[in-house]
Amino acid sequence: QLQLVESGGGLVQPGGSLRLSCVVSGPNVDAYAIAWFRQVAGKAREGISCISAEGGNTYYADSMKGRFTVSRDNAKKTVYLQMTKLKPEDTAVYYCSSAVFLVQTTCDLRSHFDFWGQGTQVTVSS
């Protein structure tokens, strides 16, 4: 079983940037693709981005392309989400999650993700 812990959230002004981190612990971390999701209270969870287990392939929801960048450092067992040009509508709780894919060079936000972090709050406001 994996444990995922997000950090890096906070209050930022519109147009600002934040980098979220997801530290992953447990067995065979390198075998898991990691995805970022976000959720606003009372609304459906929204997929943001996904990075393959070996880190070579990244995927983004269409609405997230251009402002968000996902990366991972398998030596540090950490996945990052760099967010730029933040808008008030980006305010949400951000979660990272893990999944294993048969093809380790792929990832799919529509798949079932097994383990989840506790989330980190991002608030974009002036």
pLDDT in tens, 64-77: 889 999 999 999 99
Q: Give me the percent of the chain exceeding a pLDDT of 70.
A: 100
Mean pLDDT computed over 41-49: 94
pLDDT band with cut points at 50, 70 and 90 for residue 63: confident
Longest C-alpha distance within the chain, in Å? 44
Mean pLDDT computed over 94-104: 92
Beta strand 10-12 pairing with 68-73 = unpaired
| C-alpha distance from residue 72 to each of 5, 43, 69 (Å) | 14, 28, 10
| C-alpha distance from residue 114 to each of 2, 62, 89, 117 (Å) | 9, 23, 27, 10
